[in-house]
Amino acid sequence: MSNTSLSIESVKEERKEGLSAAIIVYVFPSFILLGAIIAFFFPALFVPLTSYINLFLTIIMFTMGLTLTVPDFQMVLKRPLPVFIGVVAQFVIMPLLAVLVAKILNLNPALAVGLLMLGSVPGGTSSNVIAFLARGDVALSVTMTSMSTIVSPIMTPFLMLMLAGTETAVNGWGMSWSLVQTVLLPVVIGLFLRIFLNKWIDKILPFLPYLSILGIGGVVFGAVAANAERLLNVGLIVFVAVILHNVFGYALGYLTGRFFKFPEAVNRTMAIEIGTQSAGLSSGMAGRFFSPEAALPGAVAAVVHNISGAIYVALVRNRPLEKAPKEKKLDTAG
């Protein structure tokens, strides 16, 4: 086959991937929003979902593990600085932002601890799709999500103990063990299956994001149904809190990359990775370890984070990428 034919096939494949990614980014929040509205008006149908939170979380993280490859982790050795700075910044900026927003808006203790949980969980898998569409550094995005997920059984309980422990009782050990069971183990099992059954897994890869979406829907719809009456009183303030937390996370994430003089593609990825959290995990963990009301910020974030991601893509996708000196061309094809 000629080089021209290969080039044409590559362009077709890239367009196909872009279309698939765009469908996920735009359809996902619509599905979650529609389901949440139905759960709000008909809560009795969805309350039983709260009994399967751990199952839904396991599905979400297992599908993430299946999408990972060994090169995703090798990047830690190849380009350790942006990975290290990005993960550290995420676990510093987002928890502190959550505390600040909660104080400014005078959130009640349940919502405050729920927002803190949202800020303390690892990055969301949708960030990888958003980074692809925003012409960010997709390889870095996947690696940052993977690394923040792996360290979450230590970092998330630690942050909750440090920042919420004085006002709210935190079961640090129980939270850590739960994260190992529902986050770390499913991801590791998924990764090993990808390594040993790579050809078979490749065939089902296009369907995995939709399976993850269903898992997130199970968490969010249950949380909304269990809090239908509370949402009438606190719904607006929760949306405001989550939006502020998300927007400032994007801004500070981007500025972090600029401060360290990273290329524009990396800066965009920093913004996305730091500003986008694993909303389903946050909602599930907050509901399990604190209260049904504490699950609301995570449930709302499942919608807000993907809408803001789509807006971010629209704002930056057509803006030129600045080329940094002595920097190899970045792989934005995933």
How far is 266 from 138, CA to CA, in rounded Å?
9
Query: Concatenated DSSP letters for 136-161?
Result: --HHHHHHHHHHHHHHHHHHHHHHHH
Residues β-bridged to residue 123:
277
Q: Is pLDDT above 70 for 12?
A: no
Which three-class secondary structure state does DSSP give residue 262?
A: coil
Identify the pLDDT of residue 9.
Answer: 42
Q: Interhelix angle for 138-164 vs 172-179, to 10°?
A: 160
Please indicate, yes or no, whether the overall pTM of this predicted structure exceeds 0.95.
no
Identify the pLDDT of residue 322.
Answer: 67
Q: How many angstroms separate the first and last alpha carbons of the chain?
A: 24
| Residues contacting 98, CB < 8 A, separation 6+ | 112, 115, 116, 118, 119, 120, 163, 245
Instruction: Using pLDDT thresholds of 50, 70 and 90, give the confidence band for residue 199.
Output: confident
Could you read off the pLDDT of 49-77 as tens digits, one per residue? 888 888 888 888 888 788 777 777 777 78
- Show the domains of the chain with their CATH numbers: 17-316 (1.20.1530.20)
Question: For the chain, what is the mean pLDDT?
Answer: 82
Contact 331, 298 (CB under 8 A): no
Identify the pLDDT of residue 90.
Answer: 94
What are the structure tokens assigned to 304, written together?
A: 């807000």
Could you read off the pLDDT of 130-185 as tens digits, one per residue? 888 788 888 888 889 889 988 999 999 999 988 876 566 677 788 888 888 888 88
Handedness of CA 120, 122, 124, 128 (dihedral sign): positive
Residues β-bridged to residue 277:
123
- Torsion angle of C-alpha atoms 160, 181, 128, 90, degrees rounded to 10: 20
